[in-house]
Amino acid sequence: MKRILNLFILILFLSVHAKAQSVSVEATIDSLEILIGEQTKIKLRVLAGSKQKILFPQFPDTLVRGVEVLDTSKPDTVYYNNKERIEIEQDYIITSFDSALYYIPPLEVFIDTIKYESNPLALKVYSMPVDTLNPDQFFGQKIIMKTPFVWSDWYVFILCFVLLAPVIYLIYYLSKRLRDNEPIIRWVKVEPKLPAHETALQEIEKIKGEKIWRQEGRAKEYYTSLTDAIRRYINARFDINATEMITSEIIEHLKQVEDKEALKDLNELLQTADLVKFAKYDPLMNEKDASLVNAIGFINETKKELTPEELAAPTEIKVVEKRSLKTKIFLGGGILLFSISLIALVIYIVKQLLLFIA
């Protein structure tokens, strides 16, 4: 029984020893001698079983005193024997700024929590050779040289400032349009010129279609719309600024160009409208109908057809678009974002100019 136990221990020891023999850790260095500030590379190579856990050493910034680690590469892995064996290489870029002979101790690698060490290395760092026998070869500091002015160096900045002028004007234009609730692009619709009486009759037909006079409490609104249409007709037909005149002034001016019989119905209409607007008079339904008839009758009695030359002249009608609150917020946000971007661009250009001048 004791012999069997000793045999088992021997087999276990041999298996562990064989496993340990299967691990290889080797370190090499590209150059054993460098000048101050030059760089060289240490290559750490580990050969082990593919199922073993391998932990490479990590150096934050210093390998040994006087030798700095600049960078650590990613492990390079190669498999052998149907992926039963694995070889991993990792590079460490090192440098030194002190001339000396440095001893680099073995690098420690942990494999399945067992520590393995590589072979030690050495690094010789030389200082720059100085010819002390010929001091006349040493020169003092050079004076500061001013950069000559070249227009080609300023083309980009000049172009930026030239482009800023229309951009600033565009921001002002958009802001003003947004504030005044006007369209950014004015659409102009050209239509043939209509006679004054046709325009007035179209306005009255629109008033008839709305049927304001049949609604209770809207007499003032009805008479205001009706008299405004008549006043604009008088202005266009007789070249009398009726929109700025009171009833008596309109009648007096019209007496000079029209007979009194044609002005009788107009005078009645305007006086009734004054009573409604200023004396809160509430006319009957037949009075409202009569006012509408009087307005149409006055236009038909005083209308004047346009000559062929006047009909050929087009009339420009500007179409004004009203924006919703959502559209205003969207445009305002866009203008604000664009302005901030422009300011940032100007600051950047100014900084670059100052750096260039300095």
Report whether pLDDT(18) > 50: no
Question: Phi and psi at residue 339, in whole multiples of 5°?
Answer: -65, -40
Q: What percent of the chain clears pLDDT 90, i.e. is strictly above it?
A: 23
| Winning range, highest mean pLDDT, from 98-112, 222-236, 309-323 | 98-112
- Measure the CA dihedral 200/202/203/205, to 10°: 120
- Cβ neighbours of 225 (radius 10 Å): 17
pLDDT value at residue 322: 53
Q: Which amino acid is at 246?
A: I
Residue 103 — φ and ψ, nearest 5°?
-100, 125
Q: Which residue has the higher pLDDT, 56 or 269?
A: 56
Torsion of CA 166, 168, 172, 177, to 10 degrees: 50
pLDDT at 145 over 90: no
Listed in sequence order, the DSSP H helices in 46-195 are: 155-179
Q: Which residues contact residue 114 at a Cβ distance below 8 angstroms, ignoring those fewer than 6 apart?
A: 20
- Residue range 6-26: average pLDDT? 58
Mapping DSSP onto H, E and C, the string for 115-156 reads: EEECCCEEEEEECCCCCCCCHHHCCCCCCCCCCCCCHHHHHH
- Phi, psi values for residue 71, rounded to 5°: -160, 150
Pairing of β 39-49 and β 24-29: antiparallel
Examine the pLDDT at 39 and tell me if it is beyond 90: yes
% of residues, the chain, pLDDT over 70: 78
Query: Are 116 and 23 spatial neighbours (Cβ–Cβ below 8 Å)?
Result: yes
Q: How far apart are CA 328 and CA 334, in angstroms?
A: 10
Indicate if the alpha-carbon torsion angle 236, 239, 243, 249 is positive or negative: negative
Q: Kindly report the three-state secondary structure assignment for every residue of 229-262.
A: HHHHHHHHHHCCCHHHCCHHHHHHHHHCCCCHHH
What pLDDT is recorded for position 238? 81
User: CA angle, 62 as apex, 57 and 67 as ends, to 5°?
Assistant: 115
The pLDDT tens digits for 293-324 are 888 888 888 887 766 666 566 555 555 455 55
